[in-house]
Amino acid sequence: MATDNQFMAVGAKGVVHNNEAVQVIIGPDVTNVREEVDDLMENGGWEEFNNQISNDTPVAEKENETEFATNESQLFAPVDGKFINIEELKDDVFSQKMLGDGYAIEPSNGDIYANVEGTIESVFPTKHAIGIKSLSGAEILLHLGLDTVELKGKPFDILVKEGDSVKEDTKIATMNIDEVRKSGKDPVVITVVTNSDQYKLNKFKENSGSKVKHGNSIVLVYKG
């Protein structure tokens, strides 16, 4: 079994232990991290990999070397509905900000728009989450519902692909809210800044329970 440090070194955001169960928190780079872990588990090499870790440039330093168009980005409501503080979500991964800081919206319809201007960085195979790299370098995860990975993409239709440029008025997905609820899942739409160790959120423009429309400005994310 790999150690927590080994999972973190290949890109995991955190590791949660619950008795004998282990949950690896990854984020929008899930595909790349999974390929790294699968290769190491199938072909061995954990020991050799450990020897290489100390020589690698930390991810944060690599990102700091990259120049971005701006140091801040505006985050938007990706869907019509009711604004919810992320701490109120009934999922510890999000409410305890294991993936990063952010916010959520209880959707009133299934039309999903980009929550930031930037580039589509990843589309999860199960269609329940999309990663966007903002113009400032903030990595924004758009997560459709709680535990919806188990639905294997059935309630979702993704309208973008990796590499596409998007803005707040770009429709990027649809979600069948009724189907999600009939499956016993919560269709809440969540926005998370997954590199919150480098990017911070300013004061929110909405209070929990307030109604929002897609494209409404929610909060400014800035490097700091």
Helices marked H in 86-205: 92-95, 177-182
| Residue 158: both structure tokens together | 């993704």
CA distances (Å), 158 to each of 1, 82, 112, 177, in order? 35, 23, 9, 14
- The secondary structure element, H or E, covering residue 211 is strand 211-212
Find residue 130's DSSP bridge partners.
123, 142
Please, are residues 224 and 137 in contact by the beta-carbon 8 Å criterion? no
Q: Which one of the listed residues 17, 128, 143, 214 is annotated catalytic?
A: 143
Chain centroid to Cα 17, Å, comes to 21
Please, are residues 29 and 122 in contact by the beta-carbon 8 Å criterion? yes
- Told to judge if 143 belongs to the known catalytic residues of this protein, a careful annotator would answer yes
Q: Residue 55 contacts by C-beta under 8 Å, 6 or more apart in sequence?
A: none
How many C-beta atoms surround the C-beta of residue 4 within 10 A? 14
Tell me the catalytic residues: 143
